Amino acid sequence: MSSEERFYWLFFSAFEEGIGPIRFQLLLNYFKTAQKAWRGQKSDLIQAGLSPRIAERFILFRNSFSPELYLKILRQKEISYLTLKDSNYPPLLKQISDPPFVLYVKGSFQEEWFKTDNKMAVVGSRKATSYGLQITQSITYELVNSGLTIVSGLALGVDTIAHKTALNNRGKTIAVLGCGVDLIYPPQNINLYWQIIDEGGCIISEMPLNQWVNKAVFPARNRIISGISQGVIITEGAIKSGALITCSYAAQQGREVFALPGRIDSLLSEGPHSLIKKGAKLATTVKDVLEELRKV
């Protein structure tokens, strides 16, 4: 793919209304290149598969969008991007049914650790108990010392402990955001955000610059957490939680799902226990995880 075509992939990703991977593929199928799609008339965009409302909103966006300014801001904020066609796009993420066609990256991504598949997602409750935090720290420590990169969502609770444990043990970690990588959510994790970057990890998102969070984007964010990883470990979580959504995506994507058992009288154990009943692998040590991964 030419550098110019690559720019047009980026420009489509900046459309806040959301083209998304499936709509973008429809455009590519019809126009053959992103550059031609970018210049398409409303009637052609609709013919390609966009709804009239999205096509109209896109044209309004295109008419007001400054590619030069967007590229300048990327450089100023030291943010890189990968397209689905780039050689260092995470290989496992490329395999899911709806991979982000553009992935924004702040931090390190050129090194071999980013390109390889040795990544494990650790997820759980934002309001974890002391038990949940302790077992998250314990299993993450073992994963890091087994050479795995830790993937999580920078949320409070389990995510925070997973990222911090990886960094404290000289491991690599990737935080997947539900907002632009130039924004920090939750704001309480501002120090952790910069520590991840400073210590050789990275922050990634498919959201464009300056795109703030909303509830609708978190399921999409969760599919990236599972998609970039060999498997997902849930340490604590309620029966209806974002962590279980991540595990559901993992199962759909053919990833291994591991659940750590907890107290039977805790609401935050209901999520892991329900997954174990449905066939998730019960894990109490990193040995349980590594033995299962070797079977794949």
Three-state SS for 173?
Answer: strand
Q: Which helix (H) or strand (E) segment is 103 a member of?
A: strand 102-107
Residue 103 phi/psi, 5-degree rounding, is -120, 120
Rounded-to-integer distance, Cα 227 and Cα 211, Å: 22
- Widest Cα–Cα separation across the chain: 59
Q: What is the pLDDT of residue 19?
A: 83
Per-residue pLDDT of the chain (296 residues; tens, 9 = 90+): 899 999 999 999 999 777 889 999 999 999 999 999 999 999 999 999 999 999 999 999 999 999 999 999 999 999 999 999 999 999 999 999 999 999 999 999 988 899 889 999 999 999 999 999 999 999 999 999 999 999 999 999 999 999 999 999 999 999 999 999 999 999 999 999 999 999 999 999 999 999 998 877 889 999 999 999 999 999 999 998 899 999 999 999 999 999 999 988 899 999 999 999 999 999 999 999 999 887 54
CA-nearest of 217, 187, 182 to 197 is: 182
Rounded-to-integer distance, Cα 11 and Cα 15, Å: 7
Q: Which helix (H) or strand (E) segment is 121 a member of?
A: strand 119-123
Q: What is the pLDDT of residue 115?
A: 87
C-beta separation of 198 from 107 below 8 A: no
Q: Where are the alpha helices (DSSP H) in 169-238?
A: 190-198, 218-227
Rounded-to-integer distance, Cα 221 and Cα 161, Å: 19
CA-nearest of 178, 237, 238, 240 to 203 is: 178
Cβ-Cβ contacts under 8 Å for 30 (sequence gap 6 or more):
37, 44, 47, 48, 49
pTM of the model: 0.95
3: burial class by Cβ within 10 Å (0-12, 13-18, 19+)? Answer: exposed
Rounded-to-integer distance, Cα 261 and Cα 181, Å: 33
